């Protein structure tokens, strides 16, 4: 939901409740988004460190028996 800044200030408790039950709440100033209020669970989830690509590959699925060799055919131009 989007809230004009004055409404967000006047109805902060409602905004917090909605962040918990409905998800992120956007605050607008003069019609432009300037801030987002999220629940603590959403915030913690977004702050959880992500695994690096190396860690993901090292701990990911076992590729034993899968042919991962590069295609040796001449390169072709890719058309968008």
Query: Is residue 36 in some structural domain?
Result: yes
Query: What distance in Å separates the CA atoms of residue 41 and residue 20, rounded to the nearest whole number?
Result: 8
The domain of 41 spans 2-48
2: phi then psi, degrees, rounded to nearest 5? -110, 140
pLDDT of residue 52: 84
Could you tell me if 73 and 61 are in contact, meaning their C-beta atoms sit under 8 angstroms apart?
no
> Tell me, what DSSP letter sits at residue 29?
E
Alpha helices in 1-80 (DSSP H): 5-10, 12-22, 40-47, 53-59
Predicted confidence (pLDDT) at residue 74 exceeds the cutoff of 80 = no
Pairing between strand 2-4 and 32-37? unpaired
Predicted confidence (pLDDT) at residue 71 exceeds the cutoff of 90 = no
Query: Is residue 79 in some structural domain?
Result: no
Question: The domain spanning residue 19 has which CATH number?
Answer: 3.40.1620.10
Q: Is 6 or 70 the better-scoring residue by pLDDT?
A: 6
Query: Is residue 35 in some structural domain?
Result: yes
Query: Is residue 14 in some structural domain?
Result: yes
Predicted confidence (pLDDT) at residue 78 exceeds the cutoff of 70 = no
**Domains of the chain: total:** 1
pLDDT by residue (tens digit) across 1-55? 999 999 999 999 999 999 999 999 999 999 999 999 999 999 998 888 888 888 8
């Amino acid at each position: 939901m989007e809230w004009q800044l004055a409404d967000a200030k006047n109805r902060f408790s409602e905004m917090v409740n909605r962040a918990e039950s409905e998800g992120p709440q956007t605050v607008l100033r003069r019609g432009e988004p300037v801030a987002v209020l999220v629940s603590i669970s959403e915030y913690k989830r977004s702050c959880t460190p992500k695994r690096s690509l190396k860690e993901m590959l090292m701990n990911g699925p076992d590729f034993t028996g899968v042919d991962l060799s590069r295609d040796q055919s001449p390169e072709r131009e890719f058309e968008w």
